[in-house]
């Protein structure tokens, strides 16, 4: 059975108590139709962010109640596909983003798709890499804006969260209350100008539970690597959290000593920055599966 949610089923903050837009069983495919992060308010290069209703930005489609998901469970979200539309939006905002001090003019650029590339101002072709910016579940208490990343997932803006990836989150409330939004047709690590190539689209997910108690989440895998993800207002703390969480994974699950894990991380791992523009910054630490295989470890099927 497959459930499909339209773009009219949306919310702006992850929180317990939200009325589910749908209920699904574990292992069932769920399809999310998503707005772009501006909820379709920008249609041409004449539409500037000065005219936006900011209360309508970063919508997520959902939430979805997953039967059987209970607090403390490890929820695995397999990304079966990410389909994006043909036109993407990018903007500049003076004072915003890592280059906000240099940007003096608001500007909107519409990028058009040709094959597997985006065309930027008729001059530059950018390889597409469709990905999910916002994907998360409700926190145990309180309300977390869709624009914020955290332990619940949310606005992680991690370029690895695309087709074929699996994101692991620790369930905080009964049913999880899953939501998805903020797709990008392309985005560089860091998302330094506040946006990627913002685009509406469709996401196909399959949720499952895995028996991995105390897995440091958010955690991600794809065919080539595993990654720990951590967010904090202080980038140094986000980096430190991602590194320590990978060490915890390698010692707890792969059964390495702290020293062996540390040396292998330094020799074969990679520290990456997901985004530096949200109130909380997000970092990840990647570790290759080929090394895990040599150590006799593989992730659960």
Residue 80 main-chain phi, psi, to 5 deg:
-80, -35
Q: Which residues pair with 33 in a beta bridge?
A: 202
How far is 301 from 298, CA to CA, in rounded Å? 9
Is residue 207 within 8 Å of residue 75, measured between CB atoms? yes
Is residue 232 within 8 Å of residue 126, measured between CB atoms? no
CA-nearest of 290, 52, 76, 35 to 184 is 35
Is residue 103 within 8 Å of residue 92, measured between CB atoms? yes
Structure tokens of 8? 């009219």
The reported pLDDT for the residue numbered 1 is 87
**What is the tens place of the pLDDT at every residue in 139-168?**
999 999 999 999 999 999 999 999 999 999
Residue 239 main-chain phi, psi, to 5 deg:
-60, -50
Average pLDDT, integer, range 35-59: 97
Side-by-side strand order, sheet with 117-120 = 87-92, 107-114, 117-120, 124-127
Q: N- to C-terminal Cα distance for the chain?
A: 21
Q: Domain residues of the chain, as ranges? A: 222-294
222-294 fold: Endonuclease I-creI (3.10.28)
**What is the tens place of the pLDDT at every residue in 185-233?**
999 999 999 999 999 999 999 999 999 999 999 999 999 999 999 999 9
How far is 204 from 164, CA to CA, in rounded Å? 11
Structure tokens of 180? 């998805």
The reported pLDDT for the residue numbered 146 is 98
**What is the tens place of the pLDDT at every residue in 66-95?**
999 999 999 999 999 999 999 999 999 999
């Amino acid at each position: 059975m497959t459930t499909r949610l339209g773009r009219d089923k949306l919310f702006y903050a992850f929180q317990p108590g939200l009325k589910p837009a749908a209920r699904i069983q574990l292992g069932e495919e769920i399809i999310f139709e998503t707005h772009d992060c501006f909820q379709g308010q920008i249609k041409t290069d004449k539409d500037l962010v000065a005219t936006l209703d900011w209360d309508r930005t970063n919508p997520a489609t959902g939430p979805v109640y997953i039967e059987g998901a209970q607090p403390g469970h490890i929820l695995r979200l397999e990304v079966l596909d990410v389909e994006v539309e043909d036109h993407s939006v990018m903007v500049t905002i003076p004072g915003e983003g890592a280059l906000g001090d240099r940007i003096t003019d608001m500007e909107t650029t519409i990028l058009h798709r040709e094959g597997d590339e985006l065309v930027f101002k008729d001059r530059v072709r950018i390889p597409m890499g469709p990905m999910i910016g916002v994907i998360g579940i409700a926190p145990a208490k309180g309300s977390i804006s869709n624009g914020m990343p955290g332990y619940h997932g949310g606005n992680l803006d991690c370029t690895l969260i695309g087709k074929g990836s699996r994101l692991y989150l620790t369930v905080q409330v009964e049913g999880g209350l899953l939501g998805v939004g903020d797709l990008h047709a392309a985005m560089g690590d860091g998302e330094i100008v506040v946006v990627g190539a913002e685009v509406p689209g469709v996401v196909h997910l399959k949720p499952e539970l895995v028996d991995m108690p105390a897995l440091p989440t958010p955690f991600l895998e794809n065919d080539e690597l595993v990654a720990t993800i951590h967010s904090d207002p202080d980038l140094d703390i986000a980096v430190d959290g991602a590194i320590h969480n990978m060490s915890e994974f390698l010692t707890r699950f792969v059964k390495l000593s702290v020293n062996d894990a540390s040396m292998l991380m330094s020799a074969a791992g990679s520290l990456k920055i997901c985004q530096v523009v949200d109130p909380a910054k997000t970092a990840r630490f990647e570790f290759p599966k080929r090394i895990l295989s040599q150590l006799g470890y593989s992730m659960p099927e």
